[in-house]
Chains A and B, each alone.
Chain A
Amino acid sequence: MATDHVSVTIEKQGLQSLIDILAKRGYRVVGPTLRDQAIVYDDIARVDELPAGWTDEQDGGTYRLQRRDDGALFGYTVGPHSWKRFLHPPIQQLWKAARSADAATVEATPAEPERFALFGVRACELHAIAIQDKVFLHGPYVDSHYKARRDNAFIVAVNCGKAGGTCFCVSMNTGPRVSNGYDLALTELVEGGKHRFVVEAGSDKGRDVLAGLPKQPASSGDLDAAKKVTEKTAASMGRSMKADDVRELLARNLEHKRWDEVAERCLSCANCTMVCPTCFCVSVEEASDLAGVESSRSRRWDSCFTMDYSYVHGGSVRSTTRARYRQWMTHKLSTWWDQFGTSGCVGCGRCITWCPVGIDITEEVAAIRSSEPQ
C-alpha cells in the first residue's frame, strides 16, 4: 500500500471541498466539533465547525479545553467520544415482533443504510476500529448492523500533531502516525503563516475522492515536515506502558494485592468502558405494548462494571469492585489476546482522563509489575 501512495497538499479551503464531495456522494460527515466544553464527534458541514484554535489538556480525571494561537484545526487529541458511537451505536433495535392468536411474525430491523464519513480519525482510533472489526466481523457470527455501517464508511484519518497528557499509543504500537485502514490521511502543517494539509490516499475510494480536490503535489519538504510532525508527537507521549509482556504479567497476577488497592479507589461507575473505543459489550432490552401484541428487542451498551452484567440466578459472579476492575483491565490487556488475537487497548488514554478518580491503567500495570510476588 505504501508504495503507491499519492501525496498531495491541500489548503484549508480544500478541506471544505473534501467535506462537500463526501456529502455530495451521500456520506453523512461526522467529525470533531465543540460542545459543552469538550471536543465531541458530531455532524459537520463546514470547516469552520471544526475546533479551530482549540487544544485540550488531559490528565487523570482531568479534561480542559484551552486556546492555542495558531488556528490549527486538529491541535488536540481524543475527547470523550469515539467512533464506536457511529459504527456500534449505544442503542440499536434488533427486531420487532407481532403476535395474534394464529400467527407470530418477527421482522429484523434492517441494517442501517446510513453511510458515514468519519472525519478526523486518529491512529489509535483506526486500531480501535480494526479491533472491533475482529470482534464483530471476523468471528463465527457476524454483526449485521456493524457490518453495514462499517462497509459503507469512508475514513479520513488525521496524524496527531500533539500528544495528550494521557496518551500512550507509542507503547501500544498504534500511533501517532496512521499506517493503514484509512481512505485518506491528513497531516496538518501550520508554519510560517501557512496552513496546509499533506494528504495521502490509502484506498481506491480515497484516491477517487482525492482526484476531485483542488491540490498541489507534495514536495519532499512537505513530506519531511509531515513526518516530523508525528515524530515530535511520538517523542512527547503523556504516558507509557511496558506492553510487550503485559498479557502474561496480568495472567499470572490475578490474585495480586494491587487489585484490592485499586478497588478502594474505583467507583465502579463504568465511565472507562463507555469512553473506551474497543469496549463492545451490550445488553438486550425488550419493549412491549400494553396488550402484549407487539414487542421489540434492542441492544444497548453495557459495562462489566455493573452488578447485572454477571448476574446469574442467585447473585452476581463478580460481586466485588476488585473482581470487576480486574475483569476490565485483564480483558483489555491480557485475555483479549486469547479471545481475538490482539490487545484490547490502543493507548488512547480515554479511560484515564474520564475516570472520575483518575485511575490510570498504565500506573496500575506498573504497580503490579514492580511488586510482583516472586
Chain B
Amino acid sequence: MALTAETPRIVADPMVPRVGRIRKRVRELSDVWTLTVEMDEPFAFAPGQFNMLTAFGVGEAAISISGDPARPGEGLIHTIRDVGPVSHALSHLEPGDYIGVRGPYGAGWPVEVAEHCDVVILAGGLGLAPLRPLIYEVLSGRKKYGKVALLFGARTPTDLLFRPELEQWRRRLDVDIHVTVDTSTEDWYGNVGVVTTLVPRAAFDPQHTIAYVCGPEIMMRFGAAALRDKGVPDEAMYLSMERNMKCGIGLCGHCQIGTVFVCRDGPVFRNDKLRPLMSVKEL
C-alpha cells in the first residue's frame, strides 16, 4: 500500500491521503496564503468542491479548492486562512514541502442551472475563495448566461482577497462588479457597508437569476434575505456551508446539520433545503 510522490496509486482506503508537493506559495492577505500543489496525476474537480489537506505531523483540515477547474496544468490550488494549528501548518508549507491530499469531496456549485439566467455571486471575506472556480467557469462560458454580477465584501480594504484579479475582472464590460468594506480606511474611495447593501445595486432579473453565496454564516443568512427581498426565490440560491469535518466522506459524524452531512450532501446546498435547518439555533 506504499504510496510515494513518484509512484502514485489509487488507494482503497479513502482515509489515506495522496502525496502532493508544494509548487508555489503566495501571500494573499496578512493571514491568508494560496498554495499551488503539484500532484502526480491530473486532479479533476468541480467548482465548490473541497479537499482534506494534511500537514504531516500536525493534522488534517477541510479546505475548498480555489483554482480553475478548466486549467488542471496550473496545479491544485487552495487558499487558506491561518486560524488554527492545522491551517497554520498548511499555510506555512514552502515550495518543495510535501502535503497530503484526499478528495475532491462534496457537492459543488451547480453551474449548469444558471444557463440562460442572470447570475449573482455574493461573497464575504474568504468566501470568495470557494467561489473563484465558479467565477472562472462562468466567465469562460460567459455567453451562456444573462447578466453576471459579483458582489464582494470584506472587513477592511486590506482584507480584500484576490484584489489584482478583481481589478482584472472589473475591466471586463460584461461583468457587474461591486465591492464594499465594513470599515473604511483613508485611502479607500469605494463603498462602505456590509455586503448585503450591494444587492439592491446590482442589475438582475430576480425571477430569472441564480445566486451563489459564500461567506461567514451570518453574512450568508442576511445575504439570502437581501436576495429574497429582491424577489429571488430560495430555490434559486445556493449557499456553501462550513462545519467541523474529520473525514469528508460521511463516516465521522461531525458535520451533521440535522438531516444532512455537510461533507456528503453539501457543502453547497440549495437554500430551500438549507433554510429550515438554519432556522433552528444550534442544530
Contact = CB atoms under 8 A, between A and B. Distances in A.
Count chain B CB atoms within 10 A of each CB in A99, A304, A323, A339 and give the residue with the most. Answer: A339
Interface stretch (B57-65, B113-121, B154-162, B181-189): B57-65
A317 B243 CA distance: 8
Contacts of B11: 108
A313 to B, nearest CB: 5
Contact of A94 (B13, B249, B260, B281): B13
Contacts of B203: none
Given A104-B5, A108-B11, A335 B57 contact: no
Nearest to A323: B282
B246 to A, nearest CB: 5
Contact of A297 (B19, B60, B98, B261): B60
Contacts of A145: 13
Interface stretch (B163-171, B226-234, B251-259): B251-259
A104 B19 contact: yes
Nearest to B83: A313
A302 B253 contact: yes
Contacts of A339: 256, 259-261
A103 B19 CA distance: 9
A310 B1 CA distance: 33
Contacts of B21: 104
A313 B243 CA distance: 9
B46 to A, nearest CB: 15
B251 A280 contact: yes
A370 B81 CA distance: 49
B256 A327 contact: yes
Contacts of B243: 310, 312, 317
A104 B56 contact: yes
A331 to B, nearest CB: 7
Contacts of B83: 313
21 contacts: A94-B16, A97-B56, A104-B19, A105-B2, A106-B16, A108-B13, A140-B250, A140-B264, A143-B251, A255-B280, A281-B252, A283-B246, A284-B59, A286-B57, A288-B57, A299-B15, A299-B252, A310-B243, A313-B83, A317-B282, A339-B261
Per CB-CB distance, the 7 closest pairs between chain A and chain B, nearest first, are: A281-B253, A288-B57, A323-B282, A104-B98, A338-B259, A141-B249, A108-B1
